[in-house]
Structure 1
């Protein structure tokens, strides 16, 4: 059975009961899965009041007790990964194996935050006078408002919830209305794990209406958002007008540099598998491929072969390796990228068109040699489209990789330590992956620079946005 959709406020699951509701659909079939209730203004006020009240006690709860709840949620996530993953596949579209894997990996985030929450340390600063004691304390910031996207609905929500809870904060989360089952499942797991009422609250509604109302509330002290650059800038401006702390993990347009001394076939196979993960609907998906001329033929032969081998279908169907796009509008967007590239002289080597008339399916697509002013080279496609261009010298590739105002993730493949050092020093991005894809682990910071956002989630840096610094200086 598909998840029973609800709000979660002050420890209670609230269904329709006269509230405005919206339909939730399966992007592979168009079938209606359920009805999602929207929070009324009274619901939002109740969530704010509950979070504020809960914060007064939760902030003093032992880190060991907070950690025990997080570890329990991790255990429950592993135990119910297949059930939760199936519902993610139904409302988001990704293949079942990817959805179950997302839930399993998120259990690690719960475990890591449970442990690291015990290590939020202050410090003693040596005084200038013998009768003075100077302490620097790190304290929870308060009530947090978080907004998470549809592409990784479990992962993006659990990162924010675990960090806030481990830091001693309370949180109101508005998840993705198009793929809501994962967030409702998270609320059920925390409820079952014994999280006190009000520490976590889940609301739904018209995105801009909910975000504007929560961010403007004096109760909310911190805002966390994962999503597009334009929306992130709007929310950052709104939060800034109220002097609220923010963490923004926004879109990117990830460059890939493949040098001629790399393991070419291995790089091509790895990149093809990663490119079409979640139908390319990944903020760190490789999108601009810069291939050194001497490696071009070998790379393209293997990359296009692997791209043609992707099995597209309903995520729930056995053997599917790429599901549908999450929305009909994404199919049109992919077609526009392809048409623009073709008009500018690029060659469509693989795919380039919609598949079938039912569901939101678009073929894995490889565009060869688009000019730098083509849309695919300027704007994040957020779909199964890869642009491949040759380069001669490494400095040229680094310059082209850095030519856009984004800086989330980047990738490079080389067998030379000298080139690897040049790349890691030269690439302007929050994350640089060389010869593998190593980002996204709970112990590592995840975030971008420039238009791709500010702040990090994961690693010890994850708590920076949820803590305030207090100086205590005392003279005897």
Structure 2
């Protein structure tokens, strides 16, 4: 059995107290590796290494930092098969999905910020004959990056790439449920020429080493993606030390289907937005709101597409859905389906565990629920969607905005004016019109309400991982 190690100061090292956690493969339900259960002592070693590395990395030329990050992107692409296999075993997602989406997007994250930092411009204001003001963006120092289990390498790289590009040193913690791709990344950082101590990766529990990273006086900014309840703790802890904090949290995203949509395209894409990655994406459209006049037609087409989905071994290229990430999460998803029945819902498709080794659940479609019931209000984060009717545009907007979340929304309509009007009225940080999960890394990313604070992506991320410094020169 493989033992994962922490990556500190350019070396793989055992946890100082020798404590480990079993890492279970969701597709089989069996332990396939062990990871460090890191402690404060491990964190102090990582902080020490980062402090030594910071003067070197922060003063390195932008061009040289960029070349190192480009090289890291190259190495991820070269090792795509290894990363995809580990991500699939770690997370339970189909191997083909990891190869096609997760790992290529991780490489793209590094490549994007390697290029962005070279083209990042500062501002200058000139008062003729009197003074010149210019603003530079200075790296913060040591930053903490804590990533979730659903898109392990993609979201891990989404955080550390802009932090490194701006000249910061990073102490990062991947989810204890999906440690393997972050573990592999350390070796490639060395091969890319990254100085020791610039990137440090600690494994362990969120309530342990994760909280310790947030609390440590030497981490000057925290970027966290995860559940809203944990995000509240992270935000409260960071604010006590006036740290910069970015929180990308939960979602209960509406998928609004208007009668003038392309019905076939809306149905097919809605199946993807409901069940891709077993529904374990914060951007999945878990509440499908359908205009009453086409409700039955859409439902029929949607269910036809659902029946084509195959749930199976993540290593099987025919599997559309793999396993849920853990037994605990499987139980949570199933409990919400039982709750939906108690709340008066009718299961149109799925609704059961799949009895085999591992943590598999049928893609599940439920109708007949009140729009304000718990099933429609709380994040399930699994292959469960609800179908709801609406009579008017105003009602659709009211239902869409009725939860405490505001991460994303999808609209399906052929009316351009309606597309703009509804997009502006829906309280979500991201709006997709007649599409889903199309991303431009130049644009800001983040949610409203309980879906988080701060924005990632593009220059927003570079600004977050830096401090503005104004210099005024009298002429």
TM-score (norm 1): 0.96
Contact residue 9 and residue 201 of structure 1 kept, 8 A: yes
> Which residue of 1 is the match for residue 26 of structure 2?
27
- Residue 313 of structure 1 deviates from its aligned partner by 1.0
Contact residue 19 and residue 40 of structure 1 kept, 8 A: no
- Residue 25 of structure 1 deviates from its aligned partner by 1.1
Deviations 1:18-47 (A, max 9, x none): 610111111111122111122233221010
Contact residue 325 and residue 359 of structure 2 kept, 8 A: yes
Residue correspondence of structure 1 range 247-396 to structure 2 within 5 A:
247-396=246-395
Change (3 A) 1:314 1:103: same
> Which residue of 2 is the match for residue 186 of structure 1?
185
**CA–CA distance in structure 2, aligned partners of residues 18 and 51 of structure 1:** 21
> Which residue of 1 is the match for residue 64 of structure 2?
65
Runs of 4+ off more than 6 Å: none
- Residue 4 of structure 1 deviates from its aligned partner by 5.5
- Residue 253 of structure 1 deviates from its aligned partner by 0.5
Deviations 1:381-416 (A, max 9, x none): 100000001111011001110111211111010011
Contact residue 252 and residue 405 of structure 2 kept, 8 A: yes
- Residue 439 of structure 1 deviates from its aligned partner by 3.9
> Which residue of 1 is the match for residue 235 of structure 2?
236
Residue correspondence of structure 1 range 451-462 to structure 2 within 5 A:
451-462=450-461
Task: Tell me the SS of whatever aligns to 2:297.
Answer: helix
Count residues in correspondence. 474
**CA–CA distance in structure 2, aligned partners of residues 369 and 33 of structure 1:** 42
Deviations 1:353-404 (A, max 9, x none): 1110421111100001211232221101100000001111011001110111
- Residue 267 of structure 1 deviates from its aligned partner by 0.6
Please provide the CA RMSD for this pair.
Answer: 1.5
> Which residue of 2 is the match for residue 88 of structure 1?
87
> Which residue of 1 is the match for residue 134 of structure 2?
135
- Residue 74 of structure 1 deviates from its aligned partner by 1.2
**CA–CA distance in structure 1, aligned partners of residues 416 and 439 of structure 2:** 24
> Which residue of 1 is the match for residue 105 of structure 2?
105
Task: Tell me the SS of whatever aligns to 2:286.
Answer: strand
Task: Tell me the SS of whatever aligns to 1:59.
Answer: helix
**CA–CA distance in structure 2, aligned partners of residues 84 and 397 of structure 1:** 41
**CA–CA distance in structure 1, aligned partners of residues 35 and 346 of structure 2:** 43
Contact residue 368 and residue 388 of structure 1 kept, 8 A: yes
Deviations 1:398-443 (A, max 9, x none): 1110111211111010011121111111111110000012443422
**Structure 1: stretches of 5+ with no match in the other structure:** none
Task: Tell me the SS of whatever aligns to 1:94.
Answer: coil
Task: Tell me the SS of whatever aligns to 2:181.
Answer: helix
Deviations 1:1-28 (A, max 9, x none): x976210001111136761011111111
Change (3 A) 1:168 1:17: closer
Change (3 A) 1:281 1:475: same
> Which residue of 2 is the match for residue 116 of structure 1?
116
- Residue 50 of structure 1 deviates from its aligned partner by 1.1
Contact residue 308 and residue 364 of structure 1 kept, 8 A: no
- Residue 209 of structure 1 deviates from its aligned partner by 2.0
Is residue 2:467 matched to residue 1:468? Answer: yes
**CA–CA distance in structure 2, aligned partners of residues 236 and 17 of structure 1:** 28
Contact residue 439 and residue 446 of structure 1 kept, 8 A: no
Residue correspondence of structure 1 range 366-445 to structure 2 within 5 A:
366-445=365-444
TM-score (norm 2): 0.97
- Residue 242 of structure 1 deviates from its aligned partner by 0.5
**CA–CA distance in structure 2, aligned partners of residues 49 and 441 of structure 1:** 36
**Structure 2: stretches of 5+ with no match in the other structure:** none
Contact residue 141 and residue 467 of structure 1 kept, 8 A: yes
**CA–CA distance in structure 1, aligned partners of residues 358 and 216 of structure 2:** 40
> Which residue of 1 is the match for residue 145 of structure 2?
146
Task: Tell me the SS of whatever aligns to 1:117.
Answer: helix
> Which residue of 2 is the match for residue 126 of structure 1?
126
Deviations 1:122-146 (A, max 9, x none): 221123x724222211111111001
Contact residue 440 and residue 446 of structure 1 kept, 8 A: no
Contact residue 139 and residue 469 of structure 1 kept, 8 A: yes
**Greater mean alpha carbon deviation, residues 33-42 or residues 294-303:** 33-42
**CA–CA distance in structure 2, aligned partners of residues 357 and 405 of structure 1:** 36
Change (3 A) 1:203 1:16: closer
Deviations 1:434-462 (A, max 9, x none): 00124434223221111111122212211
Contact residue 371 and residue 388 of structure 2 kept, 8 A: no
Task: Tell me the SS of whatever aligns to 1:195.
Answer: coil
